[in-house]
Amino acid sequence: MLLNRFVAAVFFVLFAVVGTATHVQALDAINVPLDGTTLDLTKAVERASRDPSDRVQVSTAPGPDGIVRRIEVRSNEAGGTSYWVSFALTNNGDEQIDRLLVAPHFRLANSGLLIPDLGASRIATVTPSQGFAPERQASQEADVFRVTLDPGAVVTFVAELRTPVLPQLYLWEPDNYKDAINSYTLYHGIVLGISGLLALFLTIVFVVKGTAMFPATAGLAWSVLIYLAIDFGFWNKVIQIAPGDDKMWRAFAEVLLSATLLIFTYTYLNLNRWHARYSHATIAWLVGLLILLGVAVFEPGIAAGVARFSFGLTVTLGFVVIIYLALHHYDRAIMLIPTWVLLMVWILGAYLTVTGNLTNDVIQPALNGGLVLIVLLIGFTVMQHAFAGGTIAPGAIGETERRALALTGAGDIVWDWDVSRDRIYTGPDAEDLLGLKHGTLEGPARDWLDVLHPSDRDRFKATLDAVIEQRRGRIAQDFRLRAEDGHYRWFHLRARPVLGTDGEVTRCVGTLSDVTEERTAEERLLHDAVHDNLTGLPNRELFVDRLASAVTRTQTEGAARPSVFILDIDGFKQVNDGFGLSVGDSILLTIARRLTRLLKPQDTLARISGDQFAFLLISESEPERIAGFADSVRRTLRAPISFGDKEIFLTASIGIAMHDSKQSEALEIIKDAEIGMYYAKRLGGDRIEAFRPALRQHGADTLTLEADLRRAIGREEIKVLYQPIVRLEDRTIAGFEALVRWDHPQHGRIPPAEFIPLAERNGLIIPLGLFVLERAAKQLSDWQEQLGRDVPLFVSVNVSSRQLLRHDLINDVKSVLSRSAVTRGSLKLELTESLVMENPEYAAQVLTRIRELGAGLSLDDFGTGYSSLSYLQRFPFETLKIDQSFVRGPSAKQKRVILRAIIGLAHELEMDVVAEGAETEDDALDLYDLGCEFAQGFLFGQPMTAPEAGKLIFREEEAMIA
């Protein structure tokens, strides 16, 4: 019955308003038919010209007499408005006609998207050209005036507007209007009812289920309800609002709708789980909407506009996210798709409506109904999750259940021993793990002894007995059980006794867990702690320990005296640097394997650090036999190691120390052997050196020097001296070679030949080299500044092999060059040919790059190495430095031939030549005769400090000027 009326009402609206409303021409009087048809006057009204004063003049429609009159109407509104419209109606019948002039306050259609028209009272007064003024009827949603037309009358009406626009003006037959309002009221009631019930229901579900999804959905439902209540004019029944003044509330409702939809989308899709970025964006967005609520108080239009935009954006972005998540098989997203499609259709409809593309009178109620439908669908979707999802509702489980679940979750096996009946229960899990027949582990406790590892049996029995006797305590025990295949698995049992009413233990209950993996990992860790993980040999700790016990046995039992070999591979760093670490590792493995073969069972071989191995020799104690063993070690190592198509030759420095009554500690013996080894190294490697007390001084020196060097760089103990390089033709200064010195606080000045090899060994050469490079560059830049950049002056800096092999050399040079303003090519790097030949391909690359950066390159000490100039020309050197051995000394005459050849060839290759070691005037003259352009040597100056060198440059400069 109710539904019938509702359907009838909707149809009525369709026909009455859309079907039969007739559009009429302006200010021709419109004939008002007797049959009660509704007239749409919206397009028939004519705007009266605006008058700056508070009155307007209008020409009336011609009456039956054909006379057009002019009437003047005064504004009734305080302050006076300037918006006026006029229209004329005529009654051609012979009865008096009563009609209602209706101008609704709010219309969604054509309300606009960005700053929408949220409704207002439209008409202030209506003044007729004749007869009584139309009387205003009470209404919340529209301005309604009762118009009476006498038979044959032509009446012109002038309406004073309150807003610039008049969205709609209808002329209704009063009974029809009442019916229409009534049927709308019914429709509104139904829609509101459904929406209200939904909101309430979702709220209740939230109280029961407590999942965030429900308040979010309930919030959405409530804001839909509020929106509808305002739109249907129910809100002013709750809150006192002047008719047509609900703009702010509408804006509120729209913002609320937009915000709750956002919250719902976010919560339902659990977006916080995917990425914190989603949360931040959503929170920012929500804060924006919250601010919008405040804006709605002052500027409802703007607030509503932003809210509409935000709503649209939520739907669109939501769609993208849903599709994305659905493609990743996220159930919730998949289930939301139908709802969202409906929402998209709705949004499209709403968009067409507010922009004025859809203007019929059913669209607004239809959209309202659609909104309820969407919330209903969302409600269903959410409900499905609530009731289908979790097996156990949160908060509804008891402590016992929780514990049981936790046990299942942890994957532990229940172990239950019924003491009074002597039956153990473990369930099938443990038996499955061991591959045993079901039931094997179930039965009297004594049955367990058969499967237990023999050495665990007694402990197991004793523990169970103790618990029963003492009636308290806990069982926490590891034991092994034999699997079907004969292997043992480790289990950890944790249980506690349960006492009966008589105080006796009735059962022991607890859990059993498989800890085999942890156990093996532990064993492996123990092994790793004392073994080298590359070769598997004992490491230093284990070696020291074994040596210590050997020493003890010698001292207490008079066992054979142990001797220790420390073996260090010569030049192993080059292998690592040149071939890569993995090649280095496999070579170490090969060496370890070879050395192991030399061992007797009593002996120990250990890898004590990177390329150092140590022997603990117990099987031999005769000095000759020990020496023999050492020699076999050396020979074993010298055999080439083939690697791919290459063969690598390695040698070792070996130090030997024997236990004697003086050193009582293992560590001391090792230290002695190390000293021997270092001594062998010093003597060039590939040697065996037995420790002698005299060596101790040597070793100590090197060790402390190393430590001192570390500190020296920071402490300005390292100095850079400059040795002049002169042009032989006029003896002017062409440049300097930077040479490093170490002023040691105790040992005095140490020459580079002593500490550079040390620094190369321990890597300190890198900071040291960079220090010299930076100092020299800075100095050169200062000099050039003072001299003027057009006066040529260079400084050359020595580079060692570790520096060249490191990739950072290029970067170091680059940063030094960028920080000091030296002219291009004037800062030179000196490299020896042997250094370049160590790794020619790599060196060629690095050197080319360095040349490109703007540094010069000198080939140092030429003549002492390969001396293959034809080969070396592949490298971008522009200067060649002839080693001092060709220049200086008595046999220099014979060397003239060689010198001439070198100089000639260098010039062929367009290199400058610097002769080193020019000590006498003769040397200089000879060199000049041979065509050498530059020389360096004590004749022209010792290495000197920067100020001294500066003096030399500027003295010369002054002399030139004079």
Tell me which residues touch Mg ion (CB under 5 A): 798, 830, 860-861, 916
Residue 361 · residue 382 · CB < 8 Å: no
Q: Give the bridge partners for 648, in sequence order.
A: 641
Whichever of 757 and 904 has its CB closer to ligand C2E, that residue is: 757
Q: How many whole angstroms separate alpha carbon 151 and alpha carbon 90?
A: 8
Whichever of 595 and 797 has its CB closer to ligand C2E, that residue is: 797
Residue 54 lies near ligand C2E (rule: CB under 6 A): no
Residue 605 has phi, psi (to 5 degrees) of -115, 130
The H or E element spanning position 103 is strand 97-104
Name which of Mg ion, ligand C2E, none residue 751 binds, using a CB cut-off of 5 to 8 Å depending on partner kind: ligand C2E
Whichever of 160 and 577 has its CB closer to ligand C2E, that residue is: 577
What does the per-residue mask of binding to ligand C2E show for 762-791, with x meaning CB under 6 A?
A: -------x--x-------------------
| Residue numbers 692-731 binding ligand C2E by CB under 6 A | 723
| Residue numbers 887-916 binding ligand C2E by CB under 6 A | 888, 916
Residue 740 lies near ligand C2E (rule: CB under 6 A): yes
Residue 937 lies near ligand C2E (rule: CB under 6 A): yes
Residue 938 lies near ligand C2E (rule: CB under 6 A): yes
What's the sign of the alpha-carbon dihedral 166, 172, 175, 181? negative
DSSP structure class, residue 821: -
3-state SS assignment for residue 115: coil
CB of 939 to ligand C2E, least distance (A): 7
Name which of ligand C2E, Mg ion, none residue 888 binds, using a CB cut-off of 5 to 8 Å depending on partner kind: ligand C2E
Burial 298-311 (b: 16+ CB within 10 A, else e): ebbbbbbbbbbebb
Residue 876 · residue 856 · CB < 8 Å: no
Whichever of 544 and 859 has its CB closer to ligand C2E, that residue is: 859
State the residue for tokens 């591959």: 435
CB of 652 to ligand C2E, least distance (A): 26
The H or E element spanning position 224 is helix 213-231
Amino acid identity of residue 129, one-letter, is: S
Query: Which of 919, 948, 956, 957 forms a contact with ligand C2E (CB under 6 A)?
Result: 919
Residue 677 · residue 611 · CB < 8 Å: no
The H or E element spanning position 367 is helix 363-388
Within its chain, how far is the Cα of 751 from the centroid? Answer: 51
Name which of ligand C2E, Mg ion, none residue 753 binds, using a CB cut-off of 5 to 8 Å depending on partner kind: ligand C2E
3-state SS assignment for residue 430: helix
User: In 3D, which of 639, 659, 656 has the Cα closest to residue 647?
Assistant: 639
CB of 882 to Mg ion, least distance (A): 9
Name which of ligand C2E, Mg ion, none residue 694 binds, using a CB cut-off of 5 to 8 Å depending on partner kind: none
CB of 803 to Mg ion, least distance (A): 13
The H or E element spanning position 912 is strand 912-916
Name which of Mg ion, ligand C2E, none residue 539 binds, using a CB cut-off of 5 to 8 Å depending on partner kind: none
Among the residues of 788-885, which ranges form H helices? 801-805, 808-819, 833-838, 840-853, 869-872
CB of 769 to ligand C2E, least distance (A): 6
Name which of Mg ion, ligand C2E, none residue 724 binds, using a CB cut-off of 5 to 8 Å depending on partner kind: none
Q: Which two tokens stand for residue 700?
A: 């100590």
Q: How many whole angstroms separate alpha carbon 275 and alpha carbon 261?
A: 20
Within its chain, how far is the Cα of 41 from the centroid? Answer: 65
**Degrees (nearest 5) of the Cα angle 708, 714, 720?**
90
Burial of 471 (0-12, 13-18, 19+ CB in 10 A): exposed
Name which of Mg ion, ligand C2E, none residue 800 binds, using a CB cut-off of 5 to 8 Å depending on partner kind: ligand C2E
CB of 856 to Mg ion, least distance (A): 13
Residue 63 lies near ligand C2E (rule: CB under 6 A): no
State the residue for tokens 């509330």: 249
Whichever of 223 and 800 has its CB closer to ligand C2E, that residue is: 800
Name which of Mg ion, ligand C2E, none residue 943 binds, using a CB cut-off of 5 to 8 Å depending on partner kind: ligand C2E
Name which of Mg ion, ligand C2E, none residue 233 binds, using a CB cut-off of 5 to 8 Å depending on partner kind: none
Residue 798 lies near ligand C2E (rule: CB under 6 A): yes
Number of residues that bind ligand C2E (CB under 6 A): 24
Whichever of 470 and 834 has its CB closer to ligand C2E, that residue is: 834
CB of 938 to ligand C2E, least distance (A): 4
What does the per-residue mask of binding to ligand C2E show for 859-878, with x meaning CB under 6 A?
A: -xx-----------------
Chain residues binding ligand C2E by CB under 6 A are 723, 739-740, 751-753, 756, 769, 772, 798-800, 830, 860-861, 884, 888, 916-917, 919, 936-938, 943
